[in-house]
Amino acid sequence: MFEITEKVRLSHTVALFRIKAPGIAVKRKAGQFVILRLNKHGERIPLTIVDSDTTEGTITIIVQEVGKTTGMLGAMEKGDSILDVVGPLGRPTEIERFGTCVCVGGGIGTAPVYPIAKALKEAGNKVISVIGARSKDLLTYEKEMEGASDQIFVATDDGSYGHHGFVTQIVQRLIDEGSPLNIVFAIGPLPMMRAVCDVTRPHAIRTIVSLNPVMVDGTGMCGACRVTIGGKNRFVCVDGPEFDGHEVDFEELIRRNRSYFNEEKMALEELTYHEGPRCYERAG
């Protein structure tokens, strides 16, 4: 059992958890993830490790409540325990001295891009961060990102805060201004990562994206997370989760992520039927 030592609600559908997992806390590096299972009947879901505290022996994860499992996790509180947490899985981000790095975070993707920005900064890079969300209240990790960046830009789709528009427009502007950008890290919803790749591709700026497909075991055993990268089949759990974004078949991944659309809807409806509307729908 893995105890939740802290919970912070970041928005009405997003919550941050610190979970006691000393072994993982020591081992994990930026870019890696855990798989967790809430209870005996639970499914296994992958979540990026956002941060860790080796003295406390905790890891930090952020969850957006979109389905049954994430909804149930979102309803958990400090002192509750998660049945299984396994990790750290996947390959760590390759941190080097690249020069100028752009870290793009969309929605809750800002949380997993944060450890990368931090590691890049520590390695002596210039870090420019571009973070965005649909609106101001959905923006997460702004303060943390500020601390890890030399420069930070914020965009909201509805203009409630920062630039009125998309993160891609800011990335485009940075390119147009002619500042040399050596590498871009983009984490967020698949359409956002694809859009960032479309912006950087004509300028041949290396762009690393972190993929979050459906997984079961997370150790290379099942192949549920396979995705076409540069025409080859790769497993995100062991070969990723980070890949050269210009080589990712986003269309395929978007389709594969919808594999269980009907089943997920059914599971959520059943949960709502039995337990009433989730608290996150009332809160906030």
Residues at the contact surface with another protein, assessed by CB under 8 A: 23-24, 27, 37, 41-44, 68-69, 83-89, 216-217, 219-224, 226-228, 233, 238, 251-252, 255-256, 258-260, 263-264, 266-267, 270
User: Cα–Cα distance between 185 and 126 in angstroms, integer?
Assistant: 13
CB of 147 to another protein, least distance (A): 29
User: Cα–Cα distance between 159 and 157 in angstroms, integer?
Assistant: 6
CB of 259 to another protein, least distance (A): 5
Output 9 or 258, the one with its CB closest to another protein: 258
Is the CB of residue 280 less than 8 Å from the CB of residue 75? yes
CB of 210 to another protein, least distance (A): 17
Give SS3 for 193: helix
User: Cα–Cα distance between 86 and 153 in angstroms, integer?
Assistant: 34
- The residue with tokens 């390959």 is 91
Closest CA to 181 of 150, 210, 156, 226: 150
Is the CB of residue 49 less than 8 Å from the CB of residue 34? yes
> What kind and span of H or E run contains 126?
strand 126-133
Ramachandran sector of residue 61 (left: φ over 0; alpha: ψ -120 to 50; beta: rest): beta
Q: Which two tokens stand for residue 31?
A: 């870019």
CB of 249 to another protein, least distance (A): 8
User: Cα–Cα distance between 43 and 58 in angstroms, integer?
Assistant: 22
Output 4 or 205, the one with its CB closest to another protein: 4
CB of 260 to another protein, least distance (A): 5
CB of 271 to another protein, least distance (A): 9
Closest CA to 177 of 106, 128, 132: 128
CB of 2 to another protein, least distance (A): 9
Output 29 or 136, the one with its CB closest to another protein: 29
CB of 257 to another protein, least distance (A): 9
Output 42 or 189, the one with its CB closest to another protein: 42
DSSP string across 219-231: SSSS-TTEEEETT
User: Cα–Cα distance between 186 and 175 in angstroms, integer?
Assistant: 15
